[in-house]
Amino acid sequence: MTTNPRYEVLFEPVQIGPVTAPNRFYQVPHASGMTEANPRVRAAFRGTKAEGGWGVVSTGAVSTHPSSDDSPLPFARLWDDNDIRSHALACDAIHEHGALAAVELWHGGAAVMNRTSRIAPYSPSGIPWMATHVGFMGNQRPRTMSAEDIRQVLNWQAQAARRAHSAGYDIVYVYAGMGYLGYEFLLEEYNHRTDAYGGSVENRVRFVKELLEISKEAVGEDCAVALRISLEELRAKPSDNYASQAHEVVSLMSDIPDLWDVKMDSSPTDCGASRFRAEAAHEPVIDFVKQVTDRPVVGVGRFTSPDTMVSQIKRGVLDLIGGARPSIADPFLPNKIREGREDDIRECIGCNICISSWHDGVPVRCTQNATAGEEWRRGWHPEHFTPTSSSAALLVVGGGPAGLEAALIAARQGFSVTLAERGTELGGRLLFETSLPGLSTWGRVRDYRLQALQQMPNVNLYLDSELSAKDILELEHQHIAIATGARWTRMLYSSLEIPVGHLNVPGVYTPDDLAAGMLPQGPTLVYDFDNYYLGGVIAEHLATLGREVSYATPAGHASAWTIMTNEQPFVHQALHQHGVKVHTLQLLKSFHNGEAEMANIFTGDTSQYACQSIVIVGHRSPRDELYQQLQSSSGDFEAMGIHSVKVIGDAHAPGALVHAVHSGHSFARSLEQDSDTLYLRDIPVTDFPPGHAAT
């Protein structure tokens, strides 16, 4: 297959200062949770994207000095020469496939707590960033930078740029976005200075200009210098002589960087979940930049559609199509477009589990792509599979996310696969959840796998096929995977924050009841101690049906865990817009005679809430009865020619979609494998012993 002529513009080279990107696909800087402690994991992760056709592959934030210390969150470093070799591994992996390697040099300023270095954070005027995310909270307030401090930060940028150049990077970044130090100088809320670095926009730009200039001087003439800048707040601010302060800032520096990388100001708006942000949502903020500068411009917008990408280029919005989340979901997205295989793209669903990985301090995870972060550790390639030499056949019971993934990955290895689903459609929990407000994009989890399975000659799909243990044993498959999911329960929640008891009285529903077509009657209370998206979405859903809805949780916020996925502000906004009353720190104690009794989780003070129905979104239990029945015959498996019987996905341990998909993938990869090794353990690469900082 060949490239669709409509998309050929995406494969044109783009000059970026002294270097040339081979195409317009640009993996912009994004966190990976992989630091100098995991150099081989990081190199394989980035190198796979270059192999997949991304013309430029960037790091995440790389600290220039211990005064930019984001611990315990994972961040990379170029503090001294000891860090060069680990970065060189990534550069070599990227260059092996003809892509350019870019490094996002970064100083966090007032937005980092320096918990490990214990250096008072730097800021233009001592103004702190008062984070509401517990992972970013701290009591150390920043110092006001002196003229000497400014000179030191510029010097650290230059030293890090030289080290980056030595490691092999082709593009070196200056970072002036997302609340970090360069951004703090640009924004008047942070910058109250009265010297040459404060006051007018022209003065507030000075620090960023000097970072760019000293970076160019440090890397010489064969390495480009890029500026990554947040424009959301600046565009909302008036300017005396320009359309906005954003226009003024870009105009004042228009010809200094070799590349403009433009973005939003906060993670929730910059990396907005698909539930609240559509593809290309950044355009209204960044659309003016190419009118002001003749340098190439890259931006993001969770681009998954090649038609949208082409539109961005032809309408003069962007020169390069930036991808962070789409490059994680499918590292081979560019090559698939080049080869005319657009239908094979594993599209990002915008669930932001990748972002939660960084908040958790672990290597990146992806709902769509179970191989993300596992390329080196487990040897999982997103597109290549070791062909099996076995004639063994696999039976997968259950067509939800885990079952579909297990079937697909086993089939790609060459196993004969049969998938049996008791329902009339494949998709499991997705069939209901994707019908809820904002979650339709998550249907890509089902659609991608089903589309692939339907084209494979070694796969048989059977619907409306409920199998007993006896049926399964008589079907004579050598491998059996039980992927029968989990059920929501009516369990309550104790002040010890564990599920206890059951509220089995009339008028109490679970998400399973709603999925089966039942609808609560009258005023409804959604009681949520699952804490992820579903409780809030169900409350919103019922409100759109005209129900009077209240939402209660023992947590301090609605859908409390969604702070990890950048959704929490928008969850509260959506509930407010739909007239849903939110009650936090509440334990549901009982329900009778049209009243729910609630108690404050800390004080025990009780309150009565009038409602006719309750939906409990809380504890899930595995539907593993079929697996347990099969295990009762395990002594006969060998005689029956059965090699393995495994329970996977929610039937094994209920979790998010990412856990179900990973479980199915891991199971399929392990078929006919004898190794008990979980994964390879990475170690740092250094040239010097601890305590020796080369200069």
User: Which residues neighbour 447 within 8 Å (Cβ) at sequence distance 6 or greater?
Assistant: none
At 676 the pLDDT is 66
At 131 the pLDDT is 85
Closest to 535 (Cα-Cα) out of 511, 514, 518, 517: 511
At 595 the pLDDT is 96
The amino acid present at 338, given as its one-letter code, is R
Rounded to an integer, the average pLDDT of 373-394 is 96
Q: DSSP secondary-structure letter at 9?
A: G
Confidence of residue 675 (pLDDT cuts 50, 70, 90): low
Q: Report the run of H or E that residue 406 belongs to, with start and end.
A: helix 401-412
Is the residue at 683 inside a domain? no
Contact 212, 229 (CB under 8 A): no
Contact 365, 621 (CB under 8 A): no
DSSP letter for each residue of 239-255: -SSSSSHHHHHHHHTTT
Residue that the structure tokens 């979790």 belong to? 655
User: What is the CATH classification number for the domain harbouring 466?
Assistant: 3.40.50.720
User: Which residues neighbour 665 within 8 Å (Cβ) at sequence distance 6 or greater?
Assistant: 370, 371, 380, 405, 406, 409
Contact 369, 381 (CB under 8 A): no
Same domain, 515 and 444: no
Q: DSSP secondary-structure letter at 21?
A: E
Is the residue at 71 inside a domain? yes
Same domain, 507 and 597: yes
User: What is the CATH classification number for the domain harbouring 497?
Assistant: 3.50.50.60
The amino acid present at 550, given as its one-letter code, is S
19-21 vs 14-16, strand pairing mode: antiparallel
Is the residue at 217 inside a domain? yes
Confidence of residue 686 (pLDDT cuts 50, 70, 90): confident
Same domain, 124 and 256: yes
Across the chain, what does the average pLDDT equal?
Answer: 96
Q: Which of 122, 173, 175, 180 is catalytic?
A: 180
Render pLDDT for 215-269 as a digit per residue (tens, 0 to 9). Answer: 999 999 999 999 999 999 999 999 999 999 999 999 999 999 999 999 999 999 9
Q: DSSP secondary-structure letter at 71?
A: T
Same domain, 116 and 48: yes
Rounded to an integer, the average pLDDT of 408-417 is 98
Same domain, 228 and 323: yes
Closest to 167 (Cα-Cα) out of 89, 56, 96, 226: 89
Which of the listed residues 344, 360, 376 is the one where a domain comes to its end? 360
Rounded to an integer, the average pLDDT of 84-88 is 96
Render pLDDT for 570-586 as a digit per residue (tens, 0 to 9). Answer: 999 999 999 999 999 99
Answer yes or no: is pLDDT of 454 > 50. yes
Answer yes or no: is pLDDT of 694 > 60. no
Same domain, 220 and 122: yes
DSSP letter for each residue of 606-656: EEEEE-SEEEEE--EEE--HHHHHHHTTGGGHHHHT--EEEE-GGGTS---
Using DSSP's 3-state secondary structure scheme, residue 53 falls into coil
Counted domains in the chain: 3
- pLDDT over 70 percentage in the chain: 99
- pLDDT over 90 percentage in the chain: 95
Q: Is 175 among the catalytic positions? A: no
C-alpha 59/C-alpha 384 separation (Å) is 24
On the 0-12 / 13-18 / 19+ scale of CB atoms within 10 A, 79 is: buried
Q: Using omega within 30 degrees of 0 as the cis cutoff, is the peptide bond preceding 569 cis?
A: no
User: Which residues neighbour 148 within 8 Å (Cβ) at sequence distance 6 or greater?
Assistant: none
CA distances from 435 to 422, 532, 538 (A): 20, 17, 10
Answer yes or no: is pLDDT of 339 > 60. yes
Is the residue at 100 inside a domain? yes
Sign, Cα dihedral of 307, 311, 314, 320: negative
Q: DSSP secondary-structure letter at 122?
A: E
Is the residue at 682 inside a domain? no
Same domain, 573 and 662: no
Q: Report the run of H or E that residue 317 belongs to, with start and end.
A: none
Q: DSSP secondary-structure letter at 388?
A: P
Q: DSSP secondary-structure letter at 119?
A: P
At 691 the pLDDT is 72
Rounded to an integer, the average pLDDT of 156-176 is 98
Answer yes or no: is pLDDT of 611 > 90. yes
Same domain, 162 and 261: yes
In sequence order, what are the beta bridge partners of 56? 26, 100
Q: DSSP secondary-structure letter at 392?
A: -
C-alpha 575/C-alpha 562 separation (Å) is 14
Residue 220's CB is within 10 A of a number of other CB atoms, namely 11
At 692 the pLDDT is 58
User: What is the CATH classification number for the domain harbouring 163?
Assistant: 3.20.20.70
Domain of 467 in residue numbering reads as: 393-485+623-669
Contact 413, 391 (CB under 8 A): no
Measured between alpha carbons, how far apart are the two ends of the chain, in Å?
52
Tokens of 366: 């992806």
C-alpha 293/C-alpha 265 separation (Å) is 21
User: Which residues neighbour 446 within 8 Å (Cβ) at sequence distance 6 or greater?
Assistant: 401, 404, 426, 427, 430, 431, 434
Same domain, 207 and 236: yes
In sequence order, what are the beta bridge partners of 227? 174, 260
Tokens of 550: 């209240």
Same domain, 643 and 526: no
At 695 the pLDDT is 46
Same domain, 246 and 195: yes
Answer yes or no: is pLDDT of 361 > 60. yes
Residue 493's CB is within 10 A of a number of other CB atoms, namely 23
On the 0-12 / 13-18 / 19+ scale of CB atoms within 10 A, 644 is: middle
Is the residue at 688 inside a domain? no
At 693 the pLDDT is 52
Is the residue at 146 inside a domain? yes
DSSP letter for each residue of 167-206: HT-SEEEEEE-TTSHHHHHHSTTT----STTSSSHHHHTH
Render pLDDT for 503-523 as a digit per residue (tens, 0 to 9). Answer: 999 999 999 999 999 999 999
Answer yes or no: is pLDDT of 33 > 50. yes
Residues 134-165, buried b or exposed e (16+ Cβ, 10 A)?
Answer: eebeeeeebbebeeeebeebbebbbbbbbbbb
At 690 the pLDDT is 79
Answer yes or no: is pLDDT of 426 > 90. yes
Rounded to an integer, the average pLDDT of 419-426 is 98
CA distances from 425 to 94, 349, 416 (A): 42, 20, 21
Q: Report the run of H or E that residue 15 belongs to, with start and end.
A: strand 14-16
Sign, Cα dihedral of 291, 297, 302, 303: positive
Sign, Cα dihedral of 661, 55, 265, 269: negative
Same domain, 481 and 494: no
Q: Report the run of H or E that residue 64 belongs to, with start and end.
A: none
Given 3-state DSSP classes, what are the helix, strand and coil percentages for the chain, each rounded to the nearest 5?
Answer: 35, 20, 45
The amino acid present at 175, given as its one-letter code, is Y
Is the residue at 427 inside a domain? yes
Rounded to an integer, the average pLDDT of 86-108 is 98
C-alpha 577/C-alpha 437 separation (Å) is 13
Contact 558, 582 (CB under 8 A): yes
Confidence of residue 136 (pLDDT cuts 50, 70, 90): confident
